[in-house]
A and B are shown apart, each in its own frame.
Chain A
Amino acid sequence: MRQDDERYFARIEDRLDEAWDVAEAAKRQGHDPKPEIEIPIARDMADRVENILGIDGVAERVRELEGEMSREEAALELVTDFVEGTVGDYDSRAGKVEGAVRTAVALLTEGVVAAPIEGIDRVELLENDDGSEFVNVYYAGPIRSAGGTAQALSVLVADYARSLLDIDEYKPRDVEVERYAEEIALYDKETGLQYTPKDKESKFIAQHMPVMLDGEATGDEEVSGFRDLERVDTNSARGGMCLVAAEGIALKAPKIQRYTRDLDEVDWPWLQDLIDGTIGKDGAGASDEAAADADGEADAESAESDDTGDDADDATDGGAADSEAAEPDGPLRPKPSQKFLRDLIAGRPVFTHPSESGGFRLRYGRARNHGFATGGVHPATMHLVDDFLAAGTQIKTERPGKAHGVVPVDSIEGPTVRLANGEVRRIDDPEEAKEIRNGVEKVLDLGEYLVNYGEFVENNHPLAPASYVYEWWVQEFEAAGADVQAMRDDPHIDLEHPDVDEALAWAREYDCPLHPTYTYLWHDVSVDAFEALADAVAAGDVVEGVLALERTETTQHALESLLIEHVATPDALRVPVWRPLARSLGVDDGLRKTWEAGDISAAAREWDDGENAVKAVNEVAPFEVRERAPTRIGNRMGRPEKSESRDLSPAVHTLFPINEAGGPQRDVAEAASVMDDTGHRGRLDLEVSDRVCPECGEHTYRAQCPDCEIHTDLHYECGDCGTVCEPDEAGRVECPRCEWEVTAATRQEVDLNDAYRSALGNVGERESAFEILKGVQGLTSRNKTPEPIEKGVLRAKNGVTSFKDGTVRYDMTDLPVTSVRPEELDVTADHLREIGYETDIDGEPLRHDDQLVELRVQDIVLSDGAAEHMLKTADFVDDLLEQFYDIPRFYEVNERDDLVGELVFGMAPHTSAATVGRVVGFTSAAVGYAHPYFHAAKRRNCDGDEDCVMLLMDGLLNFSKSFLPDQRGGRMDAPLVMSSRIDPSEIDDEAHNVDIAREYPREFYDATLEMPDPESVEDLIQIGEDTLGTDEEYHGFGHTHDTTDIAMGPDLSAYKTLGDMMEKMDAQLELARKLRAVDETDVAERVIEYHFLPDIIGNLRAFSRQETRCLDCGEKYRRMPLSGDCRECGGRVNLTVHQGSVNKYVDTAIEVADRFGCRPYTKQRLKVLDQSLESIFEDDTNKQSGIADFM
């Protein structure tokens, strides 16, 4: 590690230690459930694994093994340790297997995700029909977050442990085998699988699996056959099991096989059949499959497998094109894919139909705020798609991956539009875009779409042909013999934007392809159109340097498709820059056509069935003309970006229970003043923990004894026999007599009024300090430990709310950034120097606010909203320290600049480990920008994922495991451990595919035309993986494209600023009309098909089998009570699904279907539904009479 990096981490850890000491002192006072900080620091992955699992000795052993072998091998090696008892303290054989399996999953997920603790419920030993024992692994839903490889390996580990412990294999009964197949299919139907094994495969796996895969029910739908099996205790699908069998074993068979080969004890020869794909494909199976394929792609087939399927298709497609070379040929292109359009919903527009001309043009490169599942879009485009795109908005893409987060990049080409006044103009300036957008009649082209090479590597997608762009051309120019360096230095020459004469001269003198600025999209016009245009140009006039052509539909259409700037007047088309066009058309400066129709070869004429004129151009033009934008990338909007505080619903200030007494608002003050039968105020019968003071023996629910002021202990008393129990080492409490689990929760009468008033007194606040203090109805934690109300008072005062674990959180969409300018972060160069930044990316001393500096791996940029929220949190924490713990304030922030250099926790959903980050600046984009490695450490990428930040001190002080819900998944999303520094080798390896080169070589661009696999050019472009484990691993993240400001474009997507769904949908359809690359009828059709129809049908179904609810007491009834009134309180009962929610979209859907000319099939479905609604909601005998009745 470089000194510089050492200093950086030391700086972070110093600040962390500082905070730690303060928090520790506060905690020691005993006001909190535990008298110590509950988020242990993990120095590395081994620490995290041990902390998450809570098994001592794992970390040490992992570190030992890490140097010697891969993580997977280490997981298998640890099995021996568990079996021999050298690691973990398990007596039973089942326990040993369980420990080994959990550890394996934790290791493979780097100790970050919750899968090892939440995804594996237990391991047990059961009996085969022949009396021998077998191992049953009981999975739960959260195993999903482990990913296929870890899931599959968990089974292998269980089997290995089984064989070492000399337990027999699982011998499935026939019905159980059948059940697996039915259940996996059911789960796929209900929830969806990435990979759906054929029934035969499922059965094959079930028959050969040496341990039993089991799990808890995750869905409501039940299997129809093979029910009530003795060894399967549910009739619903067991989600965890299905995931492990399908996405684990079936999908990752080749990976597992690698490890089984190395183990003598474990032999899974049957994997080979899975890998070969011979299961389910022989005999009848084959024809089935063929039939399914012929049906036009098995829909149910999933994302991942689909992608690989597509890749294969693409590849064969390319091959096919080659082999057909004898026939009239066409250019090599990726195959258009419709998949991203699936499930299109109302209000989220389509920007480009699959590979459609006029849509986004693929440009290769990585901008500094780019990579890691993002796509660069010109900010002018963002404005011209009616602001639907903003930084962080997710878009579903046709390729290379499934989704991207959008980032603004203004160093690529902007959109081309036709204005109402007839002008066709390219817009490269976001301000200009805003000015002219009301006058836009048609968006002819959306501009370029920047995708980095690493994205293709990550998705294993064949490279698509590159656009002809400056960075490619200049390398060709240099290779052709031009002294590029000299020209760069010449102030009179603008290499990137040369004037016409220069560009034409260069092409001629150096025999180099025409400069991209003057290369038009010839591949988008037909040979016929090309000839017609040549004739039109030859017949045109040059007036004052402007070429005037006769305005005909073909000519105009051709100019628009070529993206040639011009002005259309009623009778003429005026082209100001016309010479490159004329030359490309084989027309000289005197407007003489230099060729005859016969001069174009048959091959050029028939190239791509005559739809692509690029060959023809090259035959008549005096220079080489490359394909300008051969690859278009279809996409549509996914989720909008996010930047908002995470509140429970309803919001909560304090985790203190008040039953129903607080009303729907859960108002603590209201609950404290409710009078009971005896005339006492605020006496509530609450379910809270029973604690006892070690000093005076007094019972209380408080964590600190009100009299002795010392920390109290939980008191476990068996509810049945009254035995007072003690927790065992694992923290479980079991009554030795009744043999069941005992908790410390009891019902007790609590004087809330007193608790509330004294809390106010303790922190010296009055009720007027806040508007409302909200509590919770009841606690969901095992021991029902309440939080001191004082914390809630101060939260309410500072306007923040608590998450279920006691922390204050703010959610933001993740975006990557590797280099920043102080000024765009609303900080100064001084600020950055203060926190250790010394030089800019070129090694120059950092002096100016506009210098570009490389971002440190754990530094993050807060959105404006997050900064404001963190300020409030800092005030809350300071108040808490000062007024509650009586310790000096820690943050002392006045303005947001004060937050620069402060530490936060970053944490993603479904994980259990927080990563420490440092605030470096602020952005007006509604996203959280940070280094890709920081996001990857949290196990996120940037394709629209979002996660949260917490202020460090808030987490240290207020988080407690005692608050976490006692249910499946309760420990997800809670910071059970923190990583203080990022080790690039221990993050999600997806981030290693981010490319870090400063330019892509010419060979790369040339290679893309052949659509090779990305690996074949891996030597040409450096990616993060290449520096891993070296001193360079923390820096040197170069980019190929700059952007003026990482917050360009709209601050918020229109999706979030528009009103209701109808308004959004109108805007979506309006945009569809405006974009050349979008077929508005298809959009309307899909919105109806995927959004309106399912909504109407679903609500109609819900209506006719709905529950009812009492309006007064909230009691729910499966069916309407015969008495009509509530059986509990006599109150009014009403429906939960009303007519209004059933038919809210019907009229709109019918109108849209009509306006956009949808298929009769769609219209008829709507009509049938409309009549059904009428039949249900209208009285036949009392129909509204029409006006005709009165005539």
Chain B
Amino acid sequence: MPLESNARIAKELARHGYNAEREAITLLASAPDSAAAVESVVDHAPDDALRITADHVRTVTTDRPVSDTDPAPTGSNPSPSGAESPDSGSRSTHESSPTRNTDKSAPESPKGQSPVEIGGSSSNRGSDSASNRGSGSGHHADATAEGSDTAGTAEGSNTADTADAPHHGPDLRELEVGNDMTGRSTGTGEYADFVRTFRDRYERLSKVLRGRVNHRPAEAIAEMPGGSDAAMIGLVNDVRSTKSGHWLVELEDTTGTFPALIMKDKGLADLVDEIMMDECLAVEGTLADDSGILFADSLHFPDVPRTHRTGAADRHVQAALISDVHVGSDEFMADAWSRFTDWLHTPEAEPVEYLLLAGDMVEGVGVYPDQDEELEIVDIYDQYEAFAEHLKEVPADTEIVMIPGNHDAVRLAEPQPGFNDEIRSIMDVHDAQIVSNPATVTVEGVDVLMYHGVSLDEVIAELPEEKASYDEPHKAMYQLLKKRHVAPQFGGHTRVAPEERDYLVIEDVPDVFHTGHVHKLGWGKYHNVLAVNSGCWQAQTDFQKSVNIDPDAGYAPILDLDTLEMTVRKFA
């Protein structure tokens, strides 16, 4: 089975200091004696080459008697991919997958096993995710099943794709990063920096709400005659319940604070559960007779408009959204990772041109007490070296974007800038883009907001279980979208580094919101925005065992950038 060795070939080439095109690797893998082929490619590669191209390989392999490659570049591909495609084709139809999964995985040799596609944690719950998944599989069927099921007839669209776009011309790619604050941390930890940060939050988020209510500053409201209608936009300063079971929400703007009373029987009380400190809200209502308090009639979150229109790639191209690799931990799942990177070398994975990593590349040092006892690799630089090695298994022409997480060697306070030069130089293989947490990555027209997700812990702790839980992390993400801020609450779990602006505000509505951190897989759509929390590559740790958290490890959500549908593949 040549396929399984794709990643190994890439690694082998990397050991010799070469990066390699995906096609080159495919060619090498299909050579009768891959190892020899690799060796001779290395021997014959031009001195100045950094990257092994398909041409290099052909030059070498055509010297040999094996007469295959030339006329149709896909000629060598069909046999392996053809053999595989019925599996993958049928697997992509979700409904049948459970039984098929077991059928397939058992008899096959572990090496030859191709990834199992699964429904993911959210598939059984919540109507929105269900429909999402439904259409997802539908789409996938379009892409592959049609061809492979009808067997011989031209290998379907799969091969056609490959033929049409011979290994993704980089020229078609578009990738832009917004909101990156790496190298732009201007805060010096002064009081004024904090004030500036919160003011910026207020200004940008109040803008979102301004059209919806006829707001007045706190100062002005206090001067208004009792009984008049008033509205205010402010950051939540305090929420408490009154003796009689009503809720008092104190809002603050740049002129002062004003309390709003939310009656328990008004139907708004439910929303109070969702309110977190320091998020931006609008309240509309009637002033009390003494103008001392506002009786709330309605409550507005900045929210994502229901009319949000998403961008899309104008070709069939995919991005893998992963996070929490935790290289260096005793529990890092190297095998699952290799299965994933192997799969990336298969034709099936050819559209996957982007890899977006939402933090925690490594397990880090000193993250919790006595961590060194649970580290496979104790040296932080060695951890990044090892991570870089694992990253080399990813096809060389994949575009990679990563942000740091709370285990990485950057400051814990958010926003977190991308890695320093020392660590970047360790991971320079793929020329990956390393940007801040959070950052918005625009991939061929699709805006992906990447955030590691530390605030999810807090959202889950503060909100009622049905609105946010570890089992459905995407629902906690909906709340952040609704608040248009990735970590609203100050003073709790989330740490804030003051900067000249609040980089944590979600000013522009993204098309995809990608987080990690909680090691649970979950996705769903909220007002047309796809929220994905992408699981991890670290098996259950002793700590997780002690608090009974069962992580979703070894999953790779794959996003179609042209349709924004998603499928999740399992590699563990």
Contact = CB atoms under 8 A, between A and B. Distances in A.
Interface in A1174-1188: 1175-1182
Given A1122-B235, A1168-B409, A1176-B189, A1105 B494 contact: yes
A1176 B497 contact: yes
A888 interface: no
A181 to B, nearest CB: 11
26 contacts: A1104-B413, A1104-B495, A1104-B496, A1105-B492, A1105-B495, A1119-B278, A1122-B195, A1122-B199, A1122-B252, A1124-B192, A1139-B188, A1161-B366, A1161-B372, A1169-B366, A1171-B420, A1173-B411, A1175-B417, A1175-B497, A1176-B185, A1176-B411, A1176-B413, A1177-B188, A1179-B185, A1179-B186, A1179-B187, A1180-B417
Interface in A1158-1178: 1160-1161, 1164-1165, 1168-1169, 1171-1173, 1175-1178
A1161 B195 CA distance: 37
Contacts of B34: none
B138 to A, nearest CB: 38
Contact of A1172 (B183, B235, B411, B490): B411
A456 B381 CA distance: 49
A332 B237 CA distance: 66
A113 to B, nearest CB: 33
B379 interface: yes
Contacts of A1133: 191
B187 to A, nearest CB: 7
Given A1164-B380, A1171-B411, A299 B370 contact: yes
B409 A1171 contact: yes
Given A1119-B277, A1124-B192, A1175-B185, A1165 B365 contact: yes
A1123 B491 contact: no
A980 interface: no
B397 to A, nearest CB: 32
A1122 B253 contact: yes
A912 B191 CA distance: 46
A193 to B, nearest CB: 16
B461 interface: yes
Contacts of B494: 1105
A1178 B188 contact: yes
A233 to B, nearest CB: 14
B491 A1172 contact: no
A1105 B184 contact: no
A1123 B413 contact: no
A1180 B184 contact: yes
Contacts of B253: 1122
A1107 interface: yes
Given A1119-B235, A1172-B412, 7 more contacts: A224-B547, A1107-B491, A1119-B237, A1121-B195, A1135-B191, A1179-B185, A1182-B186
Interface in A1113-1130: 1118-1124, 1127
Interface in B230-262: 235, 237-238, 252-257
B191 A1175 contact: no
A954 to B, nearest CB: 45
B198 interface: yes
Contacts of A1173: 411
A1103 interface: yes
Nearest to A1119: B490
A1134 interface: yes
A1093 interface: yes
Interface residues of A, number: 47
A154 B545 CA distance: 35
A291 B542 CA distance: 10
Nearest to B374: A295
Nearest to B495: A1104
A1119 B191 CA distance: 11
Interface of A: 222, 224, 291, 295-296, 299, 1093, 1097, 1100-1101, 1103-1108, 1118-1124, 1127, 1133-1135, 1138-1139, 1142, 1160-1161, 1164-1165, 1168-1169, 1171-1173, 1175-1182
Contacts of A1138: 189
Contacts of B542: 291, 295
Contact of A1127 (B188, B192, B257, B461): B257
Greatest chain B CB density within 10 A among A1093, A1120, A1171, A1181 is at: A1120
Contacts of B198: 1119-1120, 1122
B438 to A, nearest CB: 16
B526 interface: no
Greatest chain B CB density within 10 A among A291, A1135, A1176 is at: A1176
Interface of B: 183-192, 194-195, 198-199, 202, 235, 237-238, 252-257, 277-278, 364-366, 370, 372-373, 378-381, 409-413, 417, 420, 461, 490-492, 494-497, 542, 547
Given A1104-B496, A1127-B256, A1133-B191, A1160 B379 contact: yes
B189 A1139 contact: yes
Given A1119-B491, A1179-B185, A295 B373 contact: yes
Contact of A224 (B252, B366, B370, B461): B461
Contacts of B461: 222, 224
A703 B192 CA distance: 52
Contacts of B238: 1118
A1031 B205 CA distance: 84
A1175 B497 CA distance: 9
A1120 B191 contact: yes
A1127 B252 CA distance: 11
Greatest chain A CB density within 10 A among B191, B378, B379, B417 is at: B191
A1172 B419 CA distance: 11
Contacts of A1103: 189
A718 B183 CA distance: 64
B191 A1122 contact: no
A517 B124 CA distance: 82
Contacts of A1097: 366
Contacts of A1105: 490-492, 494-496
Contact of A1093 (B186, B277, B366): B366
Nearest to A1160: B379
A483 to B, nearest CB: 61
B383 to A, nearest CB: 10
A245 B495 CA distance: 35
Contacts of B252: 1121-1122
B253 to A, nearest CB: 6
A1172 to B, nearest CB: 4
A451 to B, nearest CB: 32
A1105 B490 CA distance: 6
A145 B495 CA distance: 37
Greatest chain B CB density within 10 A among A1123, A1142, A1178 is at: A1123
Contacts of B413: 1100, 1104, 1172, 1176
Nearest to B408: A1168
A1122 B490 contact: no
Contacts of B190: 1135
B255 A1123 contact: yes
A490 B257 CA distance: 94
A1101 B495 contact: yes
Contacts of B495: 1101, 1104-1105
A1097 B371 CA distance: 15
Contacts of A1178: 185, 188
A1119 B280 CA distance: 14
Which 9 pairs between the two chains have the least Cβ-Cβ distance?
A1104-B495, A1172-B411, A1165-B366, A1104-B413, A1175-B411, A1177-B189, A1120-B194, A1105-B491, A1122-B254
B379 A1164 contact: yes
Given A1168-B366, A1172-B411, A1176-B413, A1135 B185 contact: no
Nearest to B201: A1122
Nearest to A1121: B252
A173 B352 CA distance: 51
A1135 B184 contact: no
B184 A1118 contact: no
